[in-house]
Amino acid sequence: MSVLVAAAVALPLFSVAAQADPPPAPVFSGGQAQPVFSATDVVRDDVWVTAPVDSDHDGKDDLVHAEVVRPKATLQGMKVPVVYQASPYYAGGNDVANHNVDVELYEPGRPQRPAGPRVKANGVGPASITWRYEQYFVSRGFAVVYGESLGSGKSTGCPTTGDVNETIGAKAVVDWLNGRAAAKDATGKASKADWSTGKTGMMGVSYNGTLPNAVASTGVQGLETIVPIAAISSWYDYYRNDGATVAAGGFQGEDADVLAEYVYTRADRAICCPVIDQLVKAQDRVTGDYSRFWDVRNYRNDVAKVRASVLVVHGLNDWNVKTSQAAEWYELLKRHGVEHKIWLHQSGHADPYGLRRDAWLVTLNKWMSHYLYGVQNGIQNEPKATVQREDMSWTDEAEWPAPGTSDVSVYPWSGGSSKGTIDTRNPMPGKPVVEKLADDSSKTVEQLIDLPRSGNRLLYSTTAAKQAVRLSGTAKVDLAIAFDRPAANVTAVLVDRGPDGRSRVISRGWTDPQNYTDPAVTLPIRPGTTYHVEVGLIAKDYILAVGHKLEFALLSSDHDYTLRPKPGAGLALDLGRTSITLPVTGGKQALRAAF
């Protein structure tokens, strides 16, 4: 700060004002904001922002409760950008039962089975709002804003699991920070964010990372960047997969209605019940089809509107919000010219703060300093991808999937009831060879792939790799397959088999063969007719080590993810018309050199 020296002569008032100390300012070193402000001596404000939506149908616009934490220097005229976390979880959650998954599959023309159990939620009451990043950002000259999602905590409205209402609610806070939305404090007095520059970055993990994707897809002005961590980009792919009802890993039977019940923590315990009842019907656990219900919850539809830069973070072993949620979103962002960067780590549903804290905070600080304060630190020119390898080391790469990756087709050969082979060059020649399996949903994938012989799965293997093989991106299988019933699950799995015989699931994918033409259309399956069925597997980045074998398993139900009908459905695979497509770094040459 400048120092004023007393003058010998009186000066006009305007001259005194002109010499007054300027407001405090942030300090940057090495392209990063420095901790020059108190993280505890701060200003805290509670406001209720008016959102232009009436999701609880009470005839009034919904109100979004937001808590602001800002440096005290803002009282001295300093204007600051905002790191904003929107969340439905600040007030905790309710004890809600999941749907029963031990049910028969839907067959067109038969009466629909009931949707499954649901219990009314009991509120747990408001909780204190905190965040591990709060003091970090506030001490460096950013404000932190917490916004409670509609229907949760002190907000009004209703939770509707990712639809337009929730997006509007979260977006309203960005509008308020930019002077486009009204807000009041606890006394009812109008509140303006005159301490803010309007530049906002949204960030969070899981649902809290999904809401930034949603708001960015509106193209709202003032949202300069988002950091979605373990985030959803399409809710259909969270609870469904290509026509099949598929669980988030570890949460068998959860669905959009269950999650809405869980986060329904506002004080009024009755007003949202009809809204959530409608979710039960519209989500359609019966056919699993893609529909308007899911389409409005697909933020990839609006990627062309995204103007915020995006730093995507995801776990390569996240089976809750599966890695494809990040991979498909990231690919679309690239295609549409959005400034982007990605971090992929070896953990599951996790924040990199607990995995590689120091390096992560450097990246995050530079990212926010650049996009919210305009610091020219070169973060946008650094390698686009940071990937953690299986040995827990980290590497920076130009882009993801890895440059030089291309699709390579390989082919299963006979012997799948014990273990057939995978040929890296040619489909199985000669007369058609058909291999069969019978569904048994009581057995897990891990159990079935380790059995030396089984009638409940087909298994095929390469030889041991002579050099490491990297898979980077999305694998798929093209099946020529027949069924002995009008309905069945189909599950495809890629496996790493070590020299000691131990197995590790690399990736898996699911489909409902009744949706063989379109995820939105259920068509009857005629028993005995062979269909072309494609199964996309979850995107991964994986290195198969020297001496390891790559295996492909086909089964029907996946105990931990799909609905679980009674055992017995039969599947028949025509090997000569079946292929497995792998995203191999180095393409055909690399794959054939390895096997």
CA distance 474 to 590: 17
Could you say which of 56, 175, 284, 318 is catalytic? 318
Nearest to 474 by CA among 513, 509, 438, 511: 509
How many residues would you count in the chain?
595
Structure tokens at 49: 């922002």
Structure tokens at 128: 């204190």
> Mapped to the 3 state alphabet, what secondary structure does 69-89 carry?
EEEHHHHHCCCEEEEEEEECC
Catalytic residue among 55, 149, 206, 441: 206
Tokens of 564: 């679980």
From the candidates 349, 370, 548, 559, which is the catalytic residue?
349
Report the alpha-carbon distance of residue 140 to residue 80 in Å, rounded.
10
Q: What does DSSP say about strands 476-483 and 434-438: parallel, antiparallel, or unpaired?
A: unpaired
Q: Which residues of 283-317 are buried (b: 16+ CB within 10 A; e: fewer)?
A: bbbbbbbbbebbebbbbbebbeebbbbbbbbbbbb
Evaluate whether 82 touches 199 at the Cβ level (below 8 Å). yes
Q: For the chain, what is the total number of helices (H) and then of strands (E)? A: 12, 28
206 classed as catalytic: yes
Of the candidates 165, 173, 107, the residue with the CA atom closest to the CA atom of residue 145:
173
Q: What is d(CA 273, CA 123) in angstroms, rounded to the nearest whole number?
A: 13
Contact between 241 and 474 (Cβ < 8 Å): no
CA gap 479, 496 in Å, rounded: 21
Q: Could you tell me which residues come within 8 angstroms of residue 355 by beta carbon, excluding any fewer than 6 positions away?
A: 345, 347, 388
* Residues involved in catalysis: 206, 318, 349
